[in-house]
Amino acid sequence: MSKVLVSDPIDQAGIDILSQVATVDVKTGLKPAELIEIIGEYDALMIRSGTRVTQEIIEAGTQLKIIGRAGVGVDNVDVPAATRKGIVVVNSPEGNTIAAAEHALAMMLSLSRHIPDANASVKRGEWDRKTFVGAEVYKKTLGVVGLGKIGSHVASVARAMGMKLLAYDPFISTERAEQLGCQLVDLDLLFQQADYITLHIPKTPETTHLINAATLAKMKPTARIINCARGGIIDEAALAAAIKEGKIGGAALDVYESEPLGESELRSLGKDLILTPHLGASTSEAQVNVAIDVAEQIRDVLLGLPARSAVNIPGLSPDILEELKPYMQLAETLGNLVGQLVGGRVETLNVTLQGELATNKSQPLVVAALKGLLYQALRERVNYVNASIEAKERGIRVIETRDASVRDYAGSLHLEATGTLGTHSVTGALLGDKEIHLTDVDGFPINVPPTKYMLFTLHRDMPGIIGKLGSLLGSFNVNIASMQVGRKIVRGDAVMALSIDDPLPDGILDEITKVPGIRDAYTVTL
């Protein structure tokens, strides 16, 4: 049974799903050295933001197949290191969207009405109504930086509260912004005009210290900043100075340059700065959502299925995956088959996506074909994550072609591989949307479902050859399950595809090629 380590607090709903397929150990609060010590035993690691999954931890995780982040941001995981090792990294892109958006909105209102400090003063026995005079958000301008999932929800609610919306997001269309009632503007204008600025962007080299002394100087002296995205987007020293000097109105922070927040000037500031301990995703609803979302993906990957929200498998969004799922197995099987027919080192793989597969969305099928192709060399070490990197490192040239012209099947896949020992091609399609069929081998039409053990011959189409091959296999005690011949012209060249019940015994291939009329024979295990 597989083993999963859960190293941060995760809702029980997730643990229950994992327990269906694995032994689950929940060990929270581990120090990096303790994690390194034990990670080698585990097939999967499930975390929240508390665990930093460094390259060292990934290298020590010799059995790791998947790292699941129960949340959005994967900045606490060394994703490139995981990719190099073929470890899938998954997250829950939407499970905590509402929780984080509502936290940002709560921070905006709390900051405007001094709720945390007013609450504390009443609890101290005071009744001070002067100090806590606030500001309304109605008719004020909210600048949303990052109009993705969380930013969009914040914008929708803020609009309903009567706020005017400006947004900055270089990757969002004007139409999308307009749908949300936002005017897309450049960052400088947003900084100059906004009464409230809310950040909903990832932390990247471009966004690190996006809010700094220079950008703070552009803001209104009454502007209030909310950061429920990532620590480090704001230069905390510059922010503390701006608040102290009255250069901006205040800030509300949920995330910090270093977490947990240690000794910091931020702690000494008064009612114009609100601090929460990274609570954006901390609602019971969000924790159930993200735990289920990520646990299901870990379960699927441990069962050999693809994950729907892998951050290190390009192009594999949940919708696309759902559409392509049946074809992924087809691509992998064809890749494995053509790799074995070619034998030796493959130099070029041509992948032709035909019919309804001739769209950009089908790119993951190329990765699946490579995974199959490399299976003989790498076995379980190759997966959807590292197949492209492994192919590149082996110098395999991959050529993708799309051919939308309608054929016998709605969609089919044609692979042609050239290696040091020659060139072979295979084509396959799905029957009834599910069943994989080989429809062509080396240009000869056939129609057989692939089976675990198969024998292919290239021979002359002439009387008696099938009988001779059958007798030869019989003399080696090989049972034939099914057989089909594909030919283009009568008595020309032909291909025979046989499904056999067991692997071919050693030495029999040489005997087969000695049968008059048989030019080549290939045995494959799929």
Ligand X SMILES: O=C(O)CCC(=O)C(=O)O
Ligand Y SMILES: NC(=O)C1=CN([C@@H]2O[C@H](COP(=O)(O)OP(=O)(O)OC[C@H]3O[C@@H](n4cnc5c(N)ncnc54)[C@H](O)[C@@H]3O)[C@@H](O)[C@H]2O)C=CC1
Q: Return the range that interacts with ligand X (CB under 6 A); candidates 133-141, 280-288, 446-454, 518-526.
A: 280-288
Q: Among residues 246, 241, 251, which one has the least CA distance to residue 271?
A: 251
> What residue 315 binds from ligand Y, ligand X, none (CB within 5 to 8 A, per partner kind)?
none
Asked if 233 and 201 count as a contact pair (C-beta separation under 8 A), the reply is yes
Phi, psi (degrees; rounded to nearest 5) at 150: -75, -45
What are the residues binding ligand Y (CB under 6 A)? 71-73, 96-97, 100, 145-151, 168-172, 200-202, 206-207, 228-230, 254-255, 278, 280-281
> What residue 198 binds from ligand X, ligand Y, none (CB within 5 to 8 A, per partner kind)?
none
3-class secondary-structure state, position 209: coil
For residues 158 and 328, which CB has a smaller minimum distance to ligand Y in the complex? 158
> What residue 114 binds from ligand X, ligand Y, none (CB within 5 to 8 A, per partner kind)?
none
| CB-count burial class (<10 Å; 0-12, 13-18, 19+) for 138 | exposed
**Half-sphere exposure for 389 (CA within 13 Å, toward CB):** 17
For residues 86 and 280, which CB has a smaller minimum distance to ligand X in the complex? 280
Which helix (DSSP H) or strand (DSSP E) does residue 295 occupy?
helix 284-302
Q: How far apart are CA 463 and CA 469, in angstroms?
A: 12
Residue 278 is a catalytic residue: yes
Q: How far apart are CA 360 and CA 222, in angstroms?
A: 48
- Residues 35-74 vs ligand X: string with x where CB under 6 A? -------------xx---------------------xxx-
In one-letter notation, the amino acid at residue 160 is A
CB of 409 to ligand X, least distance (A): 42
Is 333 a binder of ligand X (CB under 6 A)?
A: no
Residue 209 is a catalytic residue: no
Q: Which of 48, 114, 153, 278 is catalytic?
A: 278
Helix axes 284-302, 12-19, angle to 10 degrees: 20
Q: Return the range that interacts with ligand X (CB under 6 A); candidates 274-282, 292-300, 438-446, 504-512.
A: 274-282
CB of 93 to ligand X, least distance (A): 9
Asked if 17 and 296 count as a contact pair (C-beta separation under 8 A), the reply is yes
Q: Among residues 227, 291, 232, which one has the least CA distance to residue 259?
A: 232
Helix axes 97-113, 284-302, angle to 10 degrees: 150
Residue 381 is a catalytic residue: no
DSSP string, 472-506: HHHHTTPPEEEEEEEESSTTSEEEEEEEESSPPPT
CB of 138 to ligand X, least distance (A): 30
Q: Which of 224, 230, 424, 459 is catalytic?
A: 230
Q: Return the range that interacts with ligand X (CB under 6 A); candidates 176-184, 275-283, 306-314, 507-515.
A: 275-283
> What residue 211 binds from ligand X, ligand Y, none (CB within 5 to 8 A, per partner kind)?
none
CB of 260 to ligand Y, least distance (A): 14
CB of 278 to ligand X, least distance (A): 6
Active site residues: 230, 259, 278
Residues that bind ligand X (CB under 6 A): 48-49, 71-73, 96, 278, 280-282
